[in-house]
Structure 1
Amino acid sequence: MSTTSTPSPSPAPPPPYGTSATPARGRVRLDRAAKTTVGLLFLAWIVDYIDRLVINLALPHIGTEFGVDRTQQGMILSAFFLAYAACQIPGGLLADRFGSKRILLWAMLVWSVFTALTGTAWSFAALVVIRVLFGAGQGIFPAAAMKAVAERTGPAERMTASGWISSSNAFGAVVAPLIAGPVIALWGWRMSFFAVAGLGVATFVLVQLLLPPARPAAVPENTGGGGTRALLATPPMWLYVGMLFGYGMLAWGLNSWIPSYLQTERGLSLESSGLLSALPALFGGIAMILSGRCADRLKGRPALLVAPSMAVAGAAVLAMTQARNLVAFEALLCLAYAACTFCFTPIFAVPLRTLSTRLSGAASGMINFGGQSAGILVPILMGYLADTYSFTVAFAVLGLGAALTAVLALIAPQTSASLHSRIGPSLRD
């Protein structure tokens, strides 16, 4: 009678790059390279956001100096988003082709130059052109940054790392008024742009010197453009693009016009409006960190994370327009901002956990395109509505963005497995 021997079990494989070998129950740990990457990109994105938001505080002063109304002021803001949105997908393709670090550095250098040039604008037309070029520089940054994270983390902790980095947007909104407000009050709006441009140059040097190399497995051979073309032709991906469009309507509407609203409608000083604009962003930063952890633990699931949060955000914005006193208005603004920013990282979770790492730049740029496209439309639309009707009407329209995101979150694939079954083999590792 023959016998068969039982093979001895194979040794367990080492943990993926970016994870701890002995994580606590359900707890995500990042290794040193991942933590360094998160820290550097957190700083870079704070500077990115400060450079972007300074103009919101300066807008009433720019309007007075150049003699432009709110609709034209909205055009200045939308000029940035026009180029910023247009460069999202090209930025991802460039990062996939030439490497995330190289594109990160070029983006930081270009946007710092045009931040400084904003302070030299001599007319309304010149300012619009400069902001378009500034937007192009910043537009190639987000997808490259997300690809840098994907190259230095494993799927299980990718959204936790992304949540920390993405929270820099909210914390940048806290810091921007604290830096720009006093500078504008003491030395004028032009000097504020020169000051923050210096921050960009300093951060460029840090990223150049300290960003860790990507893990070898995250840098596959160049496989041509077939994967990218297939990505753009994948219908489920456009659901995530649409989700971020709705998110962008709400987020950019609040970011763009709250400082002007507080100064012109509530009669607050520049310094006070800056502080009250910063407080909601602090709550938003905390919400974004928590959302990254939740997205990793729930493996995406936008119906559980995005839809309820956007419902709360939309309701808070509608209630905010009816608030009669400043305390109630600020409380509702904090709630709206926290609920809205909680959605950002989970919108990216399922695609970035599912798609091939070699396409992470293109995928991030594709989804980001949705959010930044909203930035083209919303500042002009809100400026027009504020001029023609009132700020109450302008802010109420933002609820449409919240509704759009909530509905698409219920329709989109909820997990990596569900998206994986709906994409072609060229999009997988």
Structure 2
Amino acid sequence: MRYRRAWIGVFLFILAMINYMDRIALSIAAKPIAEEFHLSSVGMGYLFSSFIWSYALFLIPVGLLIDRYGAKRIGGLGILVWSTATALTGAASSFVTLMAARLVMGAGEAVSNPVGGKVIREWIPATERGTTTAVFNSGSYAGPAICSIVLAALVASLGWRWSFVIAGGIGAVWLLAWYCFYGKPEDVRWLSEQERAHILQHRDGEKGAATGKGYGLKKLLKTPTLWGLALTQGCNVYTQYLFLTWLPSYLQEARHLTLAKSGVVTAIPYAMAVVLCIGLGKLSDLYLKKGGGVSSGKRRNVIALSMLIASCILLIPFADSTFGLVAISSLTLAGIASTTSLNFSLLNDMLPSAGDVGRAVAFVVMGGNLFGMLAPVVTGYVIQASGGYNAAFIIAGSLLLVGAVIALTMTRKPMLPVANETKVPAPILLTK
């Protein structure tokens, strides 16, 4: 990224960081919460999963609202809702009120990825899309990296309730900055005319603009690429939520680490994922410049490679040292992070109409979270049935391998509904 549009990457990075700080807060405080409310591993699994239920339910409506009313208004409303719900989690007095707070939080968080996809499509030239999406998605890993250390210390010193109040309060600062500074590149005053012209000319391709009206979700659902992206996302997100919800408990119970040490060991892989995710996003942009342009769809090859890297989660049962565990977890999370960001980049690459971004991203994220909501619950049952975590890692690794195959076989064509192929030109290649 160049010039002032880099601030858009900063906005999105912090949005994702706050989003995932609030998500992992429950995982960090899982042990004292389970003890206070007398919850089993299965009960905790349902509690971990609960926010994903409402998150998935609201994704499509939120995507439609973003396409209609814009990212600024809907994004701001979403973070207000989820930050308030996170703070109120600290006042929960029973399992039911804990569950209710998490459900409201999930509904608010449904804005995050559709807003990110919409903002990137409006602001970022096509050849920078992979890098910017990687910056946005890497915030999802910076949040847990920071939160694992900071909230673990807060839980240990102030108790789990105050950790939620503080986590929820951070969103208010972002919300204020968002309403003060964000707007479309056509409208904001802090952008130079030269950069504004560059963004508007190149955000939909080098040789022309994509259609803006949109086909609508019903027609997009007839294209195999959208289903392929959603299934790839699902196979990937399953492992993401396994780590997000159960990794701290695994480290404390199976590896016998203290709360403070488990926070550090959790933070390191997430921090490594931030760096590697941005690096792979940049490499994917360079790869496409030399290999046929964004609409060639060749970004799918990097997605498959990232999922193969993530599948090293299969080796976790064989890690006999903390160093080995950290190394394997770092590679797994880096692969997952890169897959998510590249999958969203590929969606924008293969989607001709800018008017469909919010709903298309929402559908792909919903597909991912239908798998994701199973991960905490399935893992809870696996732990109860087997007395350990190894089978859970095998399930996750197998899904990643399946996802790599899906990415290579189902995302090969632009998302042009058959009835419109003769009326609307395909996305423009970027090669000369």
Is the structural similarity TM-score above 0.5?
yes
State whether structure 2 residue 251 is matched by structure 1 residue 262. yes
State whether structure 2 residue 262 is matched by structure 1 residue 273. yes
Letter in 2 for 1:30: R
Deviates more, 1:379-388 or 1:206-215: 206-215
Q: How does 1:273-422 map to 2 (within 5 A)?
A: 273-297=262-286, 298=288, 299=294, 300-314=297-311, 316-355=312-351, 356-389=353-386, 390-414=388-412, 418-419=413-414
Aligned to 2:184: 213
Matched-pair contact (CA < 8 Å) for 2:212–2:354: no
Q: CA RMSD in A?
A: 2.2
Give distance in 2, aligned partners of 1:313 and 1:87.
28
Aligned to 1:24: none
SS in 2 for 1:343: helix
1:215 offset after TM fit, Å?
Answer: 3.2
1:187 offset after TM fit, Å?
Answer: 0.9
Matched-pair contact (CA < 8 Å) for 1:57–1:181: yes
Letter in 1 for 2:179: Q
Structure 2, unmatched stretches of 5+, are 188-199, 204-208, 289-293, 428-432
Matched-pair contact (CA < 8 Å) for 1:75–1:379: yes
Matched-pair contact (CA < 8 Å) for 1:112–1:198: yes
Aligned to 1:30: 2
Change (3 A) 1:329 1:53: same
Among candidates 59, 79, 82, match of residue 108 of structure 1: 79
Aligned to 1:84: 55
Change (3 A) 1:332 1:350: closer
Give distance in 2, aligned partners of 1:129 and 1:212.
33
Structure 1, unmatched stretches of 5+, are 1-28
Deviations 1:393-428 (A, max 9, x none): 1222111221221110110334xxx32566645887
Q: How does 1:44-63 map to 2 (within 5 A)?
A: 44-63=15-34
Aligned to 1:174: 145
Give distance in 1, aligned partners of 2:378 and 2:121.
36
**Percent identity at matched positions?**
28
Matched-pair contact (CA < 8 Å) for 1:352–1:363: no
State whether structure 2 residue 95 is matched by structure 1 residue 99. no
Give distance in 2, aligned partners of 1:308 and 1:161.
20
Matched-pair contact (CA < 8 Å) for 2:133–2:344: no
SS in 1 for 2:414: helix
Number of aligned residue pairs: 395
1:368 offset after TM fit, Å?
Answer: 1.1
- Using the size of structure 1 for normalisation, the TM-score is 0.87
Give distance in 2, aligned partners of 1:51 and 1:281.
15
Give distance in 1, aligned partners of 2:283 and 2:365.
21
1:303 offset after TM fit, Å?
Answer: 4.3
Matched-pair contact (CA < 8 Å) for 2:63–2:358: yes
SS in 2 for 1:310: helix
Give distance in 2, aligned partners of 1:420 and 1:48.
29
Give distance in 1, aligned partners of 2:122 and 2:35.
47
Give distance in 2, aligned partners of 1:41 and 1:313.
24
Among candidates 99, 118, 123, match of residue 89 of structure 2: 118
Give distance in 1, aligned partners of 2:40 and 2:68.
43
Aligned to 1:14: none
Matched-pair contact (CA < 8 Å) for 1:252–1:374: no
Give distance in 2, aligned partners of 1:108 and 1:420.
30
Letter in 2 for 1:283: M
Deviates more, 1:228-237 or 1:280-289: 228-237
Letter in 2 for 1:144: V
SS in 1 for 2:39: coil
